[in-house]
Structures are given as structure tokens and as C-alpha cells.
Structure 1
């Protein structure tokens, strides 16, 4: 469990953080037993920064990369949730639990003596590419406005629609029956717990997640992640390379366009501007009426001003425009 308090004096860490004007994404290594909310609360109080959030919840017993959003970084959560994720995991075969992991109640046990490495590997190959997953009852997914886990704690079960997720890479690293250690690279919305149960079910013995570490979220890697207490103790503020992404770095998956002068001022007020006034030399010229061309909007001096979509058509506009979604400056 996350400790209720700490003997570390966090005042100096907070002063350093304020001097650095942190706006972006901190790469934090979430400890076992902490909720993602625990980490956010500890950093908020320890650094004295009010605007703190996270992008992508980790279960309490999972460890590894938790992207913590600082300052204006809290504005970009929705744009980062689509980052590809990589996990290291251990599947335990022969037991099915109500939570699909090792911390739930065992619902069924099956003998595993008949399992072979070849049969296990053959089933793993069936979970590559686009697959269908039914979200677990013990999850934060909402149905009827209420998180599923609240219904599950009351003993309720509700129908959940299957969702398409993508398994980009699935690699077995070790087989020591009943345990199977593996690495998975997957799309957003993938439940590794459910992947474990589905593999166990296809092997006719059941299975659950025994151990999980998130090793990567987009460009953020666990080997560069900061320990929470070391961060709050001010031990690592002088060396944040790889552990902190400014807003521009965090969003560099989106192409950039430039504006200047009066147009920059309009952008800062959230106003759309004519596309022919935008320096968009790095973009293709296709116009999307759907407005799915997300771009970073920068000033000529390189300062990130906003996120927008363009070129798009808007009602009442004679031609394509740059529509502003989120202003940073």
C-alpha cells in the first residue's frame, strides 16, 4: 500500500519544480501497491503544483511507466492516451480468478499436466493483430455512468460489448509451466489481464495475470523513469533527460505549422485562421472535411502555442482554416 506520509522534506523539491516551470510529462516508475491516483496526489503535494494528472491508469499491483502530466501538460491527456504501450507480464495457467489477476478470488482450478510448450506457443500465435476483447468487470470502464468495478464489488455482472484492440507484437520469453513470461506491444484499451484469461481459456485450463510491468508508453521508457520518493526528495531534478518531456516533445507525433503576428494572437484566443496564412510547408495539401488533421501550432520563434486541426472546412468560411482546439501559451 502507498504510505500515508513521508519523512522527506519536500519543500526544496517544490521550489526547484517551480523555478523550472515544469509543463509537460514526467516519466514516473509507479511502485507496487500504489494506485495511479496515489502517485498523482503525492507529486501534487510534494512539489506544490496544483495541476497534476496522469495519462493511462495502471492497476495497483502493476509497476512501471506512469506518464504524470504537470502544469499545462494536463491539457494534453486526451492526445497521449493513444500512445502505443509495451508490457512485460507473467501468465499463470490453471487458475481463473474474478479479477483476472493474482489478487482476486479463485473461481476455478484446472490441472496443467497435459500442457506442452508447443501447445502454449500455438495458442499465443492466435492473439496477434486485431483481436476482440470483452473489458473485465473489475475495470474503470463505465456503463450507465458507473465504473464497472463498483458493480463488480456488489457482486453484479453486466453485459459488456467486445472491443477491437491491436496486439502489435506478442513474444514468449520463458515457459515454466504453469507460468509463462511474455512481452506484449499493444494499442490503447488493451487489458493484459484479459489477454491472459483468454489465452488460458483457449488452452482449456484457465489463466490469470500474475505479474505486470509497463515498460513503455509511446516514447517514454521504464529505464528512464523516476522513482517517486527520489523525485520528491529533489535528488533527480538536475538530471531529467529522458524522464521529462516538454509539451512540444510530448506532442511531436503531430506535424507542426507556424503562424506569426496577428495570426499568433488570434490563435492564443482560440480563433480559427485562414489556412492560406499558415506556414504549412511540411504538410501534405489534402483538405479533410472531417477535421482529423491534428497539428502543433507554433510561433516563428519555435514557441508552442496550441494544438489545432487543419486544413479543415467550417460552416460559414469561404475556404479551409486552421481550427484551434487547445491553447497552451
Structure 2
């Protein structure tokens, strides 16, 4: 087992860690994840939600065995700041036009997307007009995963009667990761060099967090060390091994931890955590 996340060695941190990366403009999200993989010296890395090459901002990237956690980002709420480039003078009621797009909207993925082009519903949790200057408007968008901001900007332009397209786009949050703790590629590079060449791991710990950080929003189930050893061999979590649980709602995705806070697996709650017998968690991803 990996033990207390706060006591892990740099090698353990890199092999089961997450970087809240500030993606630069230019490379694709896949390329950036590849750079981090090579910097960390691990065999795998995965980003939490694609960003187009020109888009910047929050791109949590999982290292090593932490790629097994990628599913927790599938439904993560995203937040963006976008420049709306209007094709004519902004209407006096632009605030009202923008407000009409809060709630459920219908979108068809663009032709270049990797998904089937079928009309689908996405929820806009928040949409705020921050500033208007000439023919540019600054928007803050909080939306469901899978929302096409470029299409949203196009549709706002049609509703405004001017036409519009998306200018610069920056993602400011993905789930519980936001732009207050971002690290650049250069930060990660310098931290790795500082540790490998000078033995100072403090900068590395500042930019690479234990992978458990990605599970903040997932209900916890604490299990005994003996149960964790069985899970590592592929067994489900049985009631006698459960020490505590944050939920008893069946069908919930949960994360199982050892008493010292190390994540062991992701699974589905299928039984009463307070029961004396029977399966409590069916495994989806073993993390150890």
C-alpha cells in the first residue's frame, strides 16, 4: 500500500499524482500530457477533459497509476472565461440575451468533433456578462461537461441579432480544481530538476499533489488494511472490512481508503455499510 499521502516519497508522488496544469496556447491537451509523462519519468499520463490547442487554463493531469481515476472527471462541472466577438455593435439588452442561455440548452457537436453529431442537452449552470468593450464581451460560463463553448457563443450572437464567434477561451475550473493552484509546464520542469539534481523535493510537492486530491467530491468509505489487501487482489469490499462510510445510498460511486488516507479503489455502493455481512462495494477501478 502507498501509505499516508502526505508522507510519500517523490517517486511515489510522481507515480500516483495529479498536476493542476495551466495549459499554454499552442499544443494539444494530449501533447501536454505527454510532456508531463516524460518529465515525471512515468509510463502513463492522462488529462481531465480536452482543451483545443488555442485554449488555455485548468487541465488537471493524472500521472502513473493515477490515470485509473480519469472517470471521476467525466461529469465534472467546468468553468470558463470567454471573449465573445460580436459582428456588430452590442445591443442595449445584451445582458438579457445572455441570461436567456442559463439552464438547459440544445447543442449539436461541431463537424470536427470526435462524437456523434446528434442534438443533445447541456446545462449552463451560470452565465455572467462581465464586461463589454466595443464589439467584445467578456463572459463567465459555468457549464456541464461536454458543453461546446464555441457553439454557445455562436448561438448568443444569433440571439443578439449581430452574429458572433468565440475569441480567446480560458478554462478557470474543472470540478474542484481551479485557477488558484495552477502550475505551468515550466514550474513542473524546474521542480523535477531541483529534486533530481539537488535533492530538494519541496518545489515538487508544491506542484504535484497526491492523486487522492482528484477524489475530493467522491464519498469516502474507510476500510481496514486487511480488506485493502483483499481489494488489491480483486475482491469486493465486504461488510466486516468497512470501518466508516460517508453515504449509504446504493448505486453511488465511492472511493475506498485505508485508515491512513490512501485511496485503494473506486467502486459502486451495493450494500449497507453498517451491515454485518455481504458485499458493500463492487469494484470499478483498483488503484493499488
Query: TM (normalized to structure 2)?
Result: 0.84
**Is 1:139 matched with 2:103?**
no
Decide whether the 8 Å contact of 1:275 with 1:311 is kept in 2: no
Per-residue deviation, 1:175: 1.1
Gaps of 5+ in 2: 1-8, 195-200
**Is 1:31 matched with 2:12?**
no
Moved more, 243-252 or 202-211: 243-252
**Is 1:83 matched with 2:47?**
no
**Is 1:117 matched with 2:74?**
no
Which of 140, 143, 162 is the equivalent residue of 2:119? 162
Decide whether the 8 Å contact of 2:265 with 2:287 is kept in 1: yes
Q: Which whole-Å CA distance do the structure 2 matches of 1:38 and 1:175 have between them? A: 34
Which of 165, 168, 177 is the equivalent residue of 1:211? 168
Per-residue deviation, 1:243: 4.2
Change (3 A) 1:230 1:264: closer
Decide whether the 8 Å contact of 1:29 with 1:65 is kept in 2: yes
Query: TM (normalized to structure 1)?
Result: 0.74
Per-residue deviation, 1:319: 5.0
Per-residue deviation, 1:262: 4.1
Decide whether the 8 Å contact of 2:236 with 2:279 is kept in 1: no
**Is 1:309 matched with 2:268?**
yes
User: SS where residue 181 of structure 1 aligns?
Assistant: strand
Which of 122, 130, 142 is the equivalent residue of 1:185? 142
Q: Which whole-Å CA distance do the structure 2 matches of 1:125 and 1:19 have between them? A: 47
User: SS where residue 285 of structure 2 aligns?
Assistant: strand
**Is 1:272 matched with 2:236?**
yes
Gaps of 5+ in 1: 1-15, 95-111, 144-159
Per-residue deviation, 1:18: 3.1
Per-residue deviation, 1:55: 1.0
User: SS where residue 226 of structure 1 aligns?
Assistant: coil
Decide whether the 8 Å contact of 1:168 with 1:185 is kept in 2: yes
Q: Which whole-Å CA distance do the structure 2 matches of 1:77 and 1:167 have between them? A: 23
Instruction: Provide the aligned length of Structure 1 versus Structure 2.
Output: 269
User: SS where residue 117 of structure 1 aligns?
Assistant: coil
Moved more, 26-35 or 226-235: 226-235
Q: Which whole-Å CA distance do the structure 1 matches of 2:30 and 2:114 have between them? A: 13
Larger radius of gyration: 1
Decide whether the 8 Å contact of 1:117 with 1:175 is kept in 2: no
Q: Which whole-Å CA distance do the structure 2 matches of 1:18 and 1:53 have between them? A: 18
Quote the RMSD (CA, aligned, Å).
2.4
Aligned to 1:198: 155
C-alpha deviations, 1:36-82, integer Å up to 9, x for none? 12211222223322111111011111111111110121111111222
- Give structure 1 regions of 4+ aligned residues with deviation exceeding 4 angstroms: 240-243
Decide whether the 8 Å contact of 2:58 with 2:179 is kept in 1: yes
C-alpha deviations, 1:200-223, integer Å up to 9, x for none? 112233211011011111222223
Which of 225, 233, 241 is the equivalent residue of 2:190? 233
